[in-house]
């Protein structure tokens, strides 16, 4: 069961302009590698090991991409952490308290939380012969939900800046890879991906 991080105010009838759905942008990627082959569990590889290595790789890529937009995404430009369709994300702290915070603070919490997990030898073991903990997949699901929300915010709030920087092919490639990996390994629920389901469908048509 995927952990439920609170979502407020999804409005599927929102008719705001979504430039990332325009065909001249949707078709752009930095590679046309077979993403299904890239995300599938290779023969003979332990599934937990595969999830762990990909979690580390996605963290590096998404953190790098977010860093490129750090001067654009500020508490004044983004007073709340939102995605497309009036989706607003709230952070839940270690005591279960829901904190409505700015986008940069939300995603700082998210990346710090993920980094703590990745460097915890009890959660992401690196020594030969170590065993992954019970509930490891649950934690990976939570991490990928945070990855998805990070990219959803970029698409929803900073896509024009991404275009101006020429980073949209990188963003499409990263998002396609992420969503296919999640689908292959059942890491996200349909309700989690709903704010960008139109984009997932559009990218899927590109093959």
List residues forming the annotated binding site for Zn(2+).
Answer: 73, 78, 153, 158
Checking phi first, is residue 96 left (phi over 0); if not, alpha (psi -120 to 50) or beta?
Answer: left
State the Cα–Cα distance between residues 201 and 152, nearest whole angstrom.
15
Q: Do residues 62 and 92 make contact, with C-beta atoms less than 8 angstroms apart?
A: no
Q: At what angle do helices 47-68 and 103-118 cross, to 10 degrees?
A: 150
State the Cα–Cα distance between residues 48 and 132, nearest whole angstrom.
7
Tell whether the torsion through CA atoms of 95, 88, 205 and 66 is positive or negative. negative
State the Cα–Cα distance between residues 146 and 63, nearest whole angstrom.
11
- Annotated binding site: which residue ranges? 73, 78, 153, 158
Angle 160-201-68 from CA coordinates, rounded to 5° = 30
Contacts of 140 (CB under 8 A, 6+ apart): 51, 52, 55, 187
User: How many other β-carbons are positioned within 10 Å of the β-carbon of residue 35?
Assistant: 20
Q: Do residues 76 and 105 make contact, with C-beta atoms less than 8 angstroms apart?
A: no
């Amino acid at each position: 069961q995927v952990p439920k991080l609170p979502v407020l105010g999804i409005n599927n009838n929102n008719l705001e302009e979504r430039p990332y759905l325009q065909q001249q942008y949707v078709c752009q990627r930095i590679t046309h590698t077979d993403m299904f082959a890239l995300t599938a569990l290779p023969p003979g590889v332990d599934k937990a090991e595969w999830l762990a290595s990909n979690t580390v790789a996605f963290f590096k890529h998404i953190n790098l991409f977010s860093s490129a937009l750090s001067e654009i995404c500020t508490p004044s430009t983004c007073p709340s952490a939102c995605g497309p369709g009036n989706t607003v994300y709230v952070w839940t702290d270690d005591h279960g308290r829901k904190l409505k915070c700015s986008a940069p603070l939300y995603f700082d919490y998210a990346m710090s939380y993920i980094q703590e997990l990745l460097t915890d030898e009890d959660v992401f073991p690196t020594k030969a012969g170590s065993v992954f903990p019970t509930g490891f997949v649950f934690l990976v699901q939570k991490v990928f939900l945070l990855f998805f929300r990070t990219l959803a915010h970029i698409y929803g709030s900073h896509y024009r800046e991404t275009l101006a920087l020429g980073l949209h092919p990188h963003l499409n490639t990263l998002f396609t890879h992420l969503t296919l990996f999640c689908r292959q390994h059942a890491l996200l629920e349909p309700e989690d991906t709903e704010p960008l389901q139109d984009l997932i469908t559009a990218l899927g048509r590109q093959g």
